[in-house]
Amino acid sequence: AGLHSAASRRQRSTTSPVEVMPLVLSPHARPQPFSRVVSLRTRMAQLRNSITQCQSELDGMRAELMAVEDALETAVDRPIEGGVDPTGWLPNELLFIVFFHIPVLGGCARVCSRWGALCREVNREGTMAMRWNNYNTGLQRPSKFGRHNGHPKGVFAIAVGHNNTVYTAGGDKTIRVWSTVDGTCLRVLTGHTRGVLAVKVGHDGTVYSGSFDSTIRVWSGVDGSHLETLQVTLKAVRCLAIGTHRLISGFSDHTIAVWTREFGMGRTSSAVEHTLIGHTGEVWSICLNANQDKVLSASDDKTVRMWSAGDG
Q: Is pLDDT above 80 for 209?
A: yes
Q: Cα torsion for 74, 105, 141, 205, to the nearest 10°?
A: 70
For residues 127 and 291, the model is more confident at 291
The answer to whether residues 288 and 276 touch, using CB atoms and an 8 Å cutoff, is no
Write the pLDDT tens digit of every residue in 5-39: 554 555 554 445 545 455 444 555 555 677 888 88
Q: Is pLDDT above 60 for 4?
A: no
Q: Is pLDDT above 50 for 266?
A: no
Which whole number is the average pLDDT over 246-271?
A: 79
Q: Which of 270, 220, 228, 224 is nearest to 245 (CA)?
A: 270
* DSSP assignment string, 114-172: HHHHHHHHHHHHHHHHHHHHHHHHTS-----TTTTT--SS-EEEEEE-SSSEEEEEETT
For residues 189 and 74, the model is more confident at 189
AA letter at 169:
A
Write the pLDDT tens digit of every residue in 215-237: 999 999 999 999 999 988 888 99
Mapping DSSP to helix (H, G, I), strand (E, B) and coil, where does residue 236 land? coil
Q: Compute the distance between CA of residue 2 and CA of residue 135 in angstroms, rounded to an integer.
A: 105
Say what the pLDDT of residue 74 is: 60
The answer to whether residues 169 and 156 touch, using CB atoms and an 8 Å cutoff, is yes
